[in-house]
Structure 1
Amino acid sequence: MEMQAERGQAAAWFRELRDRIVAAFETLEDAGPGDAPAGRFDVRETRRGEDGGGGLMSVMRGGRVFEKVGVNWSAVHGTLAPAARAAMADRGVPGIDRDPRFWASGISLVAHMQNPHAPAVHMNTRMFWTPGAWWFGGGTDLNPCLEYAEDTAHFHDTLRLACAPHDCDYYARFKAWADEYFFIPHRGRARGVGGIFYDDLNSGDWAADFAFTRAVGEAFLPAFLPLAERRMAQPWDAKARDAQLIHRGLYAEYNLVYDRGTKFGLATGHDPEAVLMSLPPLAKWP
């Protein structure tokens, strides 16, 4: 079950989505408030350890709209380390004890905004392959430090509409999964207002699961851009900035302690700067 064609198709689509999002964010920067130069992404290639593959790390810092945003794409392959192999065996991945080869590709995005009224956001979609199995995963969640009910409603409504054509249960199921996954146990609270999250998606129909994963990726810009456009020029004060920095501390705690993607990236030898791209540029703790 090598799935060379399917793997190539998935990797190419994740790369194309990355390109479109980068272009849309730079267009938003051009329309941003203030007279400072519009931000642009700094792009560099990444390489994965001693095995194979790599990707593109694209980070913008200090823009009109984005204080820091990263949009990374990767396609990597190699042999799973014993700890990662054991973890996948525990998840029921067939044959991983006999053949530890893997391949993975996806896009990962985290945006931290200049204006405290504009919500931070995360999105990723990915495909994972081993000789005995394949699956898709991903999702997106909104992380405002100052919540607006209409922004939350728009974000969730867009995701609900994206899920509906693929399975009538997907939105409710994956929203509940996001509520559980993006929870910070040691703080007893969620890191944001949720979204959708899914993993290990293999219905037996690769084309259908890939179509759903594309729908999640396609929904991201319609779900998020209107919120950024609405809030990017809204007046803010020192109190709002303080709330933003404290909320970023929660985000950093979650990503370093609990996030599955962070753990996998570091454990499998991917470029640590790319893996830790999700961390905010500034944060504080009360």
Structure 2
Amino acid sequence: MTDDFEAAKTRAAAWFRTLRDQIVDAFEGLEAGHDAGPLADAPVGKFEVTQTKRSSDDGSDAGGGLMSVMRGGRVFEKVGVNISTVYGTLGERAQVAMAARKGIPGMKDDPRFWASGISLVAHMQNPHAPAVHMNTRMFWTPHAWWFGGGSDLNPCIEYAEDTAHFHDQQKAHLNPHGLGLYPKLKEWADEYFYIPHRNRARGVGGIFMDDHCTGDWEADFKLTQDIGRAFLPAYVPLVEKRKAQGWDDADKDAQLVHRGLYAEYNLVYDRGTKFGLETGHDANAVLMSLPPLAKWV
């Protein structure tokens, strides 16, 4: 691995920004178009955008990104769409974790890294509209590179047809990369988005991959792009269908309890949360995924 990857890094970071812009536009369109049903008379939600920075031990430039958060909208109670490109050297704790988990030699001798990606979590006003998570990313060190990410659906009130639509779109976008890929990434998501101390899944699954490197950067980048492209057609129709559906106190209570599960998973098990905090990225951006309100029984 050498700095010949500079052009690849630039292309990957630009793609994550493009995807971010498409999603922000689509979500603000859902807000503006919600004109019937619960909260249709509420103010239209807009994203607030702030720059984030990664802190480095020596005060040098270590990258950053954009944190885009919408709160208290008609459709979205809280949604964040973050992008970041960070770089520098991994601290000793992160070096050990990376070498142990990924088997990368030489990290102690040359701990440089570069990482770029997009991360999204949406928590909805309507309990019938499912929460969702999506992220894709590229990671580079002088010793290795890889892609990761996926998306998964987290309804508190499950509808079989919504789950089927979400998975069908994932499958359709993955099939051009090999018919065996969707089952593999679906199984990976089922294993990854599982809460051991609750003996249950976080939601109804999706797709997930990590450490993805076939040696063909172009092919792996195209796969990562298609994982991102699958998101809007998989998710937006579900919101459009459920956003005007009526709910009662019991529905809202079920939503708050389910959010508790989501918070537990992200704080205890999620690799992205751990990596972001360990490498000094903006804590507010890292913890953007947490719901605005949750409940434990």
TM range (shorter): over 0.9
Per-residue CA deviations over 1:59-91 (Å, capped at 9, x if unaligned) read: 000000000000000000010011110111112
Distance 2:18 2:168 in 1: 25
Distance 1:283 1:15 in 2: 30
Per-residue CA deviations over 1:75-122 (Å, capped at 9, x if unaligned) read: 000100111101111121233222100000000000000000000000
DSSP-derived class of the 1:164 partner = helix
Per-residue CA deviations over 1:109-164 (Å, capped at 9, x if unaligned) read: 00000000000000000000000110000000000000000000000000011110
The structural deviation recorded for 1:47 is 0.4
1:247 pairs, out of 258, 275, 287, with 258
Contact 1:94 1:133 in 2 (8 A): no
1:46 pairs, out of 36, 52, 64, with 52
Distance 1:92 1:271 in 2: 27
Aligned to 1:82: 92
Distance 2:115 2:267 in 1: 21
Aligned to 1:232: 243
Aligned to 1:127: 138
Aligned partner of 1:167: which letter? G
| Pairing 1:1-286 to 2, within 5 Å after superposition | 1-2=2-3, 3-32=5-34, 33=36, 34-50=40-56, 51-90=61-100, 91-286=102-297
DSSP-derived class of the 2:198 partner = coil
Q: Unpaired runs of 5+ in structure 1?
A: none
The structural deviation recorded for 1:202 is 0.3
Aligned partner of 1:102: which letter? F
Distance 2:202 2:181 in 1: 22
Q: Unpaired runs of 5+ in structure 2?
A: none
Aligned partner of 2:25: which letter? A
Distance 1:97 1:135 in 2: 19
DSSP-derived class of the 1:28 partner = helix
TM-score, normalised by the number of residues in structure 1: 0.99
Distance 1:173 1:94 in 2: 27
TM-score, normalised by the number of residues in structure 2: 0.95
DSSP-derived class of the 1:209 partner = helix
Structure 1 stretches of 4+ with a deviation exceeding 6 A read none
Per-residue CA deviations over 1:157-214 (Å, capped at 9, x if unaligned) read: 0001111001222111111110000000000000100000000000000000000000
Percent identity of paired positions between Structure 1 and Structure 2 = 70
Which is further off, 28-37 or 172-181? 28-37
Distance 1:143 1:243 in 2: 12
Which is further off, 240-249 or 26-35? 26-35
Distance 1:183 1:208 in 2: 29
Distance 2:187 2:245 in 1: 32
DSSP-derived class of the 2:197 partner = coil
Aligned length: 286
Distance 2:82 2:99 in 1: 28
Aligned partner of 1:270: which letter? H
Distance 1:36 1:248 in 2: 23
DSSP-derived class of the 2:138 partner = strand
